Chain A
């Protein structure tokens, strides 16, 4: 039986090959990319793109079979690497987001002649880190996964070597990322000192709900470390510059997959490692959430560049995703809070990738990153404008597009907690979702109600890969909004939530 693996002797760690298949396929793909890059002539480097995308789709297959297999939670390495419903849902999300990013990046990378092999190699490595993150239940493996996903991302952000903005993006991202890692490592070392273990479940059991100041400090530092990764205010300062300077597909990757990975790590650490310490992390999340959505929204309102606007929008959305975590420690809320976070992440991934697909398509024509370049888009490219309308409405949380259900799930777990603080946060969230329409609506206004800025109404060319990306994200956004049951249907996620409600 697989469950006996958990108690297997150290001398012979049994490997569950089925459970590890996604990681192994990804690893094989990464090696294959490196080798092919060595031997292919420049003219045939385009072959690397399909290799990258097929690797991601191939890695998705075992995720599906594992999910359908229904054999319950699989544990490896003494319970430090776990494949449960939560990790499978997130792995699936990372791989599919990665696939859409490949579609977005394909032409960009080929036309720019930007070292295709290296680009795909780094992107897949980063995805590998994310996939591992979803299963890690140990401080060491979490840290390794975090660095695995971050370091390639630093390089990707600085991809346009000769562009000073891109260099700035990479450096800023790198310096602040390393800074955050150091803080987190400090917290982790404290945790190890206190509990004498790096395994999250043991840390959780050892910490209990007995909070001394040193324990509180350890928990606080770890949480803060991840707050950088998810660009929560006040640790968000890197995000707008990095998002603006990085190549657009990389920005899409950072704002969706990388951010989701941060949330996955945060949720794992909090749910498995600190279930008893909610007196520390609940207030932290409350403040982070309120500050993040409010400041993100206010800053987004005054942007004129679409990417910067999306950067602040992404920060604000992070605030909404944090909302349920601010009450996750209350009795009976853990599961609905986790579900809200996961649902929101999935909906947000579909929508935001769609937005970036539209941005990529439009930028190819207008050669501008200004919001005003969307003027009159509906009059000459109604299809793209309608898709953008759907994505913006989804981000703003207007039914029947995906986003509403993410917000709904977040509000639901807040209200189910029923505390005064929860209601106050719900009201802040409500007001913020109205404010957010200020800038999402400004895009709609440009597209539908303003004239075309330069009178150029030639049709917008849509490359086939971008059309596929638009199709996938558009359908997903609509479907998630009309039949939101399907996201939550992946599993009740009890595995992880069980820890906190113990």
Chain B
């Protein structure tokens, strides 16, 4: 694989620039709230600018190669190095993390959740940004692990401090699940290191040497990584932290969690587990696919049973990540492309849905579906945005969600050679049924909330008129880019597929893809 290391400062700057902002913010007194917010947003925008520069300089003709590669000594004793690079798989996610951070911060300008303290809140978001971006560019397992873990504490505090009533329980659950997963993942990384001759933690090196490991050992090592990544995705049955975390997290936390953090898990599968341990991936694929479709159906049923809007969206995440994992489990270039597209699409759409949920909560002070009604009458713009997102989420052709879901289902028709065609076709049928449920719960949600007359409780003149107002300035600024992206990627998916495809082919080299 060719390595291109032009402009290789760009990734380092793009990853660590938020920390420079943090450093500056530390010296600003807590009371200067406007200044703090401005510095934070300026940092995030500067970071995004570096990200866009990276995209402009990115050689799209060679999207399958690692670009902007930089390598320096880091912990030479354990043979781990500061080794970073970006290819067609990383680039969309790397940019997504930056875009989401900027938008979430703009949204936070007048939406700092109780108990306030914007200084700490914005600092945590910037630290999160460094962790997320770093995970997507790390080419060394230990570096990957450090970035992967770096997001833990900020998110823990975000949920635990600025969350809902049950925040302490939810944040601890989130933390313990993830930490348990990463402990096993770390042991798996170490086993991989020693089984390949204890020479390097570099991912390309391990991809080269990983095939030589015996099948049984591969399966065990894969198991360790599987737990680590599956918790993060989250896959059934490791998903139980997600509804709690999402429901309790502040809007900003939910958006970042759904849009980016969940992708760290699927990205780990695509980037590390599958290419490094191809035989184990093949052995595990039917089970991963099985858990994925269980996740789809289970998530859908979960949605149908929810009475809380945010919890419903959280369960829909479980279902959608099921589609992503199904695409990955086929081990075909087609399925993997769909999965990668699905990750970004889910990030945009579900991120948007959580934004809307946050705004609904702010206006009605509740997310209980049966207490809200007739939103289209009271707040037509917000109502239609919700409708739009629901349509995108259920996979309406022409919007981004479609291109993540439909090809993923289709890819199960013809899985990679060596996998049981019958099993995967069965999965395909189940997943297809899942889309019907998806349409069901999303439309039902929209119908219950947006149609009809406002409930008596929130009707005009009942003391809520001041809160119930349509989409405001900051919301428009934060949401418009996402809404546009959903349409653009829906109408012209090739925009992303052409970046993804070469990189996916490289990743699947071991499977003849």
A residues near B (Cβ < 8 Å) are: 339, 378-379, 382, 389, 393, 398-400, 404-405, 408-409, 411-412, 415-416, 418, 423, 426-427, 430-431, 433-434, 437-438, 441, 444-445, 448-449, 483-485, 488-489
Counting residue pairs across A and B whose Cβ atoms lie within 8 Å, the total is: 91
A108 CB to nearest B CB, Å: 29
- Assembly CA distance A423 to B195 (angstroms): 14
- Assembly CA distance A379 to B117 (angstroms): 8
Q: A412-B190, A415-B187, A485-B75 are in contact. Are A449 and B149 (CB under 8 A)?
A: no
A448 engages B160 (CB within 8 Å): yes
**Hey, which chain B residues are within 8 Å of A448, CB to CB?**
157, 160-161
A449 engages B160 (CB within 8 Å): yes
Q: A389-B153, A433-B183, A437-B179 are in contact. Are A418 and B76 (CB under 8 A)?
A: no
B residues near A (Cβ < 8 Å) are: 30, 73-78, 115, 117, 119-120, 142, 145-146, 149-150, 152-153, 156-157, 160-161, 167-168, 171-172, 175-176, 179-180, 183-184, 186-187, 190-191, 193-194, 198
- Assembly CA distance A280 to B428 (angstroms): 57
**Hey, which chain B residues are within 8 Å of A339, CB to CB?**
77
A479 CB to nearest B CB, Å: 13
- Assembly CA distance A444 to B155 (angstroms): 13
Residue of A378, A411, A485 near B186 (CB, 8 A) is A411
- Assembly CA distance A420 to B142 (angstroms): 24
A447 CB to nearest B CB, Å: 10
Residue of B153, B168, B187 near A427 (CB, 8 A) is B187
Of all A-B residue pairs in the complex, the 5 with the closest CB atoms, nearest first, are A430-B183, A415-B190, A399-B146, A399-B149, A488-B77
B187 engages A426 (CB within 8 Å): yes
A484 engages B30 (CB within 8 Å): no
B146 engages A485 (CB within 8 Å): no
A449 engages B161 (CB within 8 Å): yes
B451 CB to nearest A CB, Å: 39
B75 engages A400 (CB within 8 Å): no
**Hey, which chain A residues are within 8 Å of B175, CB to CB?**
437, 441
B153 engages A393 (CB within 8 Å): yes
B150 engages A416 (CB within 8 Å): no
Q: A382-B120, A416-B194 are in contact. Are A485 and B176 (CB under 8 A)?
A: no
- Assembly CA distance A445 to B173 (angstroms): 13
B76 CB to nearest A CB, Å: 6
**Hey, which chain A residues are within 8 Å of B187, CB to CB?**
411, 415, 423, 426-427, 430
B421 CB to nearest A CB, Å: 36
Q: Which residue of A lies closest to B115 (CB)?
A: A379
A-B CB contact pairs (8 Å), 25 listed: A339-B77, A379-B115, A382-B30, A399-B149, A400-B146, A400-B150, A404-B146, A405-B75, A408-B78, A408-B142, A408-B186, A412-B78, A412-B190, A415-B191, A416-B190, A416-B194, A426-B187, A430-B180, A430-B186, A441-B156, A444-B160, A449-B167, A449-B171, A485-B75, A489-B77
- Assembly CA distance A339 to B75 (angstroms): 13
B190 engages A411 (CB within 8 Å): yes
- Assembly CA distance A416 to B192 (angstroms): 10
Residue of B115, B149, B179, B190 near A434 (CB, 8 A) is B179
A378 CB to nearest B CB, Å: 7
B77, B145, B190, B191: residue with the most chain A Cβ atoms closer than 10 Å? B77
**Hey, which chain B residues are within 8 Å of A444, CB to CB?**
156-157, 160
- Assembly CA distance A389 to B160 (angstroms): 14
**Hey, which chain A residues are within 8 Å of B78, CB to CB?**
408-409, 412
**Hey, which chain A residues are within 8 Å of B74, CB to CB?**
483, 485
**Hey, which chain A residues are within 8 Å of B115, CB to CB?**
379
**Hey, which chain A residues are within 8 Å of B157, CB to CB?**
444, 448
**Hey, which chain A residues are within 8 Å of B119, CB to CB?**
382
- Assembly CA distance A427 to B172 (angstroms): 21
Residue of A399, A416, A426, A445 near B172 (CB, 8 A) is A445
- Assembly CA distance A389 to B172 (angstroms): 15
Q: With A400-B149, A430-B184 given, can you name 8 additional A-B contacts, CB distance below 8 Å?
A: A382-B120, A399-B146, A400-B146, A416-B198, A431-B180, A444-B160, A448-B157, A484-B75
Q: A378-B120, A398-B152, A437-B175 are in contact. Are A445 and B160 (CB under 8 A)?
A: yes
A240 CB to nearest B CB, Å: 25
Residue of B30, B76, B190 near A485 (CB, 8 A) is B76
Residue of B76, B145, B160, B198 near A399 (CB, 8 A) is B145
**Hey, which chain B residues are within 8 Å of A399, CB to CB?**
145-146, 149-150
A398 engages B186 (CB within 8 Å): no
Q: A448-B161, A485-B77 are in contact. Are A437 and B190 (CB under 8 A)?
A: no
**Hey, which chain A residues are within 8 Å of B186, CB to CB?**
408, 411, 430
**Hey, which chain B residues are within 8 Å of A412, CB to CB?**
78, 190, 193
- Assembly CA distance A431 to B181 (angstroms): 10
- Assembly CA distance A398 to B150 (angstroms): 8
**Hey, which chain A residues are within 8 Å of B145, CB to CB?**
399
A388 CB to nearest B CB, Å: 13
- Assembly CA distance A444 to B156 (angstroms): 10
**Hey, which chain B residues are within 8 Å of A408, CB to CB?**
78, 142, 186
**Hey, which chain A residues are within 8 Å of B194, CB to CB?**
415-416, 418
- Assembly CA distance A489 to B120 (angstroms): 35
Q: Which residue of B lies closest to A413 (CB)?
A: B190
**Hey, which chain A residues are within 8 Å of B76, CB to CB?**
485
**Hey, which chain B residues are within 8 Å of A398, CB to CB?**
149, 152-153, 179
A336 CB to nearest B CB, Å: 9
**Hey, which chain A residues are within 8 Å of B168, CB to CB?**
445, 449
Q: A399-B149, A449-B161, A485-B77 are in contact. Are A431 and B120 (CB under 8 A)?
A: no
Q: A378-B120, A437-B175, A449-B161 are in contact. Are A404 and B149 (CB under 8 A)?
A: yes
